[in-house]
Amino acid sequence: MTEKEKLIARLNELGVKLNREVSTSGTIQELTMRIAELEEELEEGEEVIDDEVGAMNDADSPGDGSNGENTPDDDAGASAETGDLVCVETLATLHIDALHATRDERVTIVEPGVIIRVSDQDADLLIAKGLVREA
């Protein structure tokens, strides 16, 4: 396999990960630059998702010395359980803890174009980061 064929194969892999078509035409230098740009974009997307997961995990962690179990006064976990969720459409592949829009199934990996239910706060955060839009 030639160097250019290897670069084209890598571009195709990145296109699948980013869920979009990528141009595979050009010189070896152009292909190499395009790969670097796509890898950077993929890393930035992972950092955003990692930041969100960290923020969600921090929100789930009790800071008041409680044992972390939901009590009647604990509204943090209650909103997800009682249905205080909003529907959003994903614009990127997300690793997230959400509910499917029509089935009461938890989803952890969601591809672009899928409608999911998340808390209002999570929806605002994801919309602000450009990862979802209101459904």
Enclosing domain of residue 50: 3-57
State whether 81 and 53 are in the same domain. no
65 occurs within a structural domain: no
The pLDDT score that the predictor gives to residue 57 is 57
Number of domains within the chain: 2
Q: What is the pLDDT of residues 42-99, one digit of tens each?
A: 887 766 565 566 666 555 555 444 444 443 333 333 334 445 889 999 999 888 889 8
68, burial (CB in 10 Å: exposed 0-12, middle 13-18, buried 19+):
exposed
Whether residue 116 has pLDDT greater than 80: yes
Task: Report yes or no on whether pTM surpasses 0.75.
Answer: no
The pLDDT score that the predictor gives to residue 39 is 85
* Position 38 confidence tier, pLDDT thresholds 50, 70, 90: confident
